């Protein structure tokens, strides 16, 4: 679903496409297998746990019917998917083994002296490793912002998160960061508090 064609002026510096399954010509990755195995475990656990609510009660659909049915289906379907991926992986390895003397096509596709695709810079000039770190920082920042809500309130904590995101993750200047945070704060206060009257939590400090 993702990864549509790029347009506009930035198309000549299109972002790097990285998908777990998308290694050219390759089979499923370990992450794919682990993710599907986690789903299988989740389904199995839900089915077992759901059984306690009663699959059938007096011969009729019970509260546990849907959890058991869906959990069981997830477990079976995920197991089937793991088997399919395992077979595909084996076939890919056998294929690679046959092709080995010819050389790695991906390596051959990268001209000498250029960085590997994953090392290409994105539109912000970041490498793949830096983008990975940026995601971890965004996760952490959002989590920290939510933890701060009981103390400084929702509007302030989210505005603070915007400030740090623009300043630290996007490496913009302090003026741009403060302006972005202030614009968000003003928009949130005006629309959600003043116009819509949403009771946003102001936290223990009760500032906004």
Partner 1 sequence: MLDNLALGVATAVSPENLLWCFIGVALGTVIGMLPGLGSATGVALLLPVTLALEPVTALIMLAGIYYGCQYGASISSILISTPGDSSSVVLTLDGYQMARNGRAGAALAVSALSSFIAAIITIVGLMLLAAPIADLALRFGPPETLAVILLGLSTIVSFAGDNLLRGITMAAVGLLLSTVGIASGFTDARFTFGSLNLLSGLDFIAVLIGLFAIGEVLHQIHRGGEAPIRARFKDLVITRDDVRRMIPASLRGTGLGFALGVLPGAGATLATFMSYGLEGRVGKHRAELGTGAVEGVAAPEASNNAAANASFIPTLSLGIPGSGTTAVLLGAFVVFGLQPGPLLFEQQPALVWGLLVSFVIGNFMLLVLNLPLAPVFAQALRVPYSYLYPFILFISLLGAFAIGNNTFSLWVAFTAGVLGYFMKRFDFPAAPLVLGLVLGPLLERSLVQTSALGRGDLMIIFERPISAAFTVAAILAILAPVVLAAVRRRRAPGRARQSTPTA
In the region spanning residues 70 to 129, those forming contacts with partner 1, defined by CB under 8 A, are 70-71, 73-74, 77-78, 80-81, 122-124, 126
Footprint on residues 137-156 left by partner 1 (CB under 8 A): 138-139, 142-143, 145-146, 149-150, 154-155
Q: Which of 91, 110, 182, 198 binds partner 1 (CB under 8 A)?
A: 198
Tell me if residue 3 falls in helix, strand or coil.
Answer: coil
Q: Which of 101, 103, 113, 197 binds partner 1 (CB under 8 A)?
A: 197
Q: Which of 101, 113, 199, 206 binds partner 1 (CB under 8 A)?
A: 199
Phi and psi angles of residue 16, each rounded to the nearest 5 degrees, phi first: -70, 130
Q: Which is nearer to partner 1, 79 or 96 (CB)?
A: 79
Sign for the CA dihedral angle at 141, 147, 151, 153 comes to positive
Q: What x-and-dash track marks residues 16-45 binding partner 1 by CB under 8 A?
A: xxxxxx---------xx--x---x--xx--
Q: Which of 59, 101, 103, 206 binds partner 1 (CB under 8 A)?
A: 59
Sign for the CA dihedral angle at 63, 64, 69, 70 comes to positive
C-alpha–C-alpha distance, residues 29 and 22, integer Å: 9
Eight-class DSSP state of 39: H
**Residue 95: CB minimum distance to partner 1, A:** 17
Q: Which is nearer to partner 1, 27 or 74 (CB)?
A: 74
Q: Which is nearer to partner 1, 60 or 112 (CB)?
A: 60
Regarding 160 and contact with partner 1 (CB under 8 A), the answer is no
Across 123-134, b (16+ Cβ under 10 Å) vs e yields eeebebeebeeb
Q: Please name the helix (run of DSSP H) or strand (run of DSSP E) that holds residue 79, with its range, or none.
A: helix 65-99
Tell me if residue 57 falls in helix, strand or coil.
Answer: strand
- Segment contacting partner 1 by CB under 8 A, of 59-67, 86-94, 98-106, 109-117: 59-67
Task: Report strand pairing: 56-57 vs 60-61.
Answer: antiparallel
Q: Which is nearer to partner 1, 11 or 108 (CB)?
A: 11
**Residue 100: CB minimum distance to partner 1, A:** 25
**Residue 71: CB minimum distance to partner 1, A:** 6
Please, is 192 exposed, middle or buried when counting C-beta atoms within 10 Å of its C-beta (0-12, 13-18, 19+)? middle
């Amino acid at each position: 679903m993702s990864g549509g064609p790029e347009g506009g002026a930035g198309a000549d510096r299109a972002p790097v496409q990285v998908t777990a399954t998308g290694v050219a010509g390759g089979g499923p990755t370990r992450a794919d297998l682990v993710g599907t195995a986690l789903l299988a475990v989740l389904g199995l656990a839900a089915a077992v746990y759901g059984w306690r609510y009663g699959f059938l009660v007096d011969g009729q659909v019970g509260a546990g019917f849907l959890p058991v049915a869906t959990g069981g289906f997830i477990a079976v379907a995920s197991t089937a998917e793991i088997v399919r991926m395992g077979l595909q992986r084996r076939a890919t390895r056998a294929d690679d083994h046959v092709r080995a003397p010819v050389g790695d096509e991906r390596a051959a596709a990268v001209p000498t002296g250029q960085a590997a695709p994953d090392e290409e810079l994105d539109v912000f000039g970041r490498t793949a490793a830096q983008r990975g770190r940026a995601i971890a920082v965004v996760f952490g920042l959002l989590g920290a912002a939510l933890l701060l809500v009981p103390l400084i309130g929702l509007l302030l904590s989210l505005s603070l998160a915007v400030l740090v995101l623009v300043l630290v993750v996007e490496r913009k200047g302090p003026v741009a960061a403060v302006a972005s945070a202030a614009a968000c704060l003003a928009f949130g206060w005006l629309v959600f508090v003043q116009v819509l009257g949403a009771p946003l939590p102001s936290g223990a400090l009760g500032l906004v």
